[in-house]
Amino acid sequence: MTTRLMKQMGLTFALVAGSISTAMAATSNDFVDNAAEGGITEVEAGKLALEKSSSADVKTFAQHMVTDHTKANHELMALAKKLDIEVPDDAALTDKAKKAILEMRDESFDKAYANNQVAAHEKTVELFKKEAASSDNAELKAFATETLPTLEAHLKMAKELQSKYAK
């Protein structure tokens, strides 16, 4: 296996693993834990894309991810605190996300990032749809419902990037 392929697989694993656990939420606490972990991973992946990509459209998308997921993360943390739901330590989640995202070669980064953003957002949209439809907590249900359109827009943008960089 080439180093480049191993690095691509590493980033794929990091982003998809975070979002797969996100899709499995069963309780309000699970939803908060998984949404927080996924959100922080999105911010860290976006920061990496801002640093590594040389493509203006990838950087624009990455900045959307950093801005939108930072805002959603703050809202989720405030809501979790209000509902007395313990959230994993922000610094620990950030460290976990950074450790999971491997360095990649610049020429393959845009394609790998676009592919991973599609996979991550498909899982996250699934998580938020499930929470919006069946949450046992009205405030978390409202948060999921309000956040879902933004996540669906992210998925649409990620698919556009994916089709552009599929070459």
Q: Which residues contact 122 (CB under 8 A, 6 or more apart)?
A: 19, 155
- Check if the beta carbon of residue 31 is closer than 8 Å to that of residue 127: yes
Q: Which residue bears the tokens 């069946």?
A: 134
Mean pLDDT confidence for 103-122: 78
Q: Which residues contact 167 (CB under 8 A, 6 or more apart)?
A: none
pLDDT digits (tens, 9 = 90+) for 50-80: 998 889 999 999 999 999 999 999 999 999 9
Mean pLDDT confidence for 80-88: 88
| Protein fold of 3-20+27-165 | Ferritin (1.20.1260)
Q: Which residue bears the tokens 């996924």?
A: 38
Kindly state the percentage of the chain with pLDDT values over 70: 72
DSSP state of 27: S
pLDDT digits (tens, 9 = 90+) for 132-143: 999 999 999 999
Structure tokens at 48: 């990496």
For the chain, domain boundaries: 3-20+27-165
Structure tokens at 94: 């950030």
Q: Which residue has the higher pLDDT, 151 or 116?
A: 151
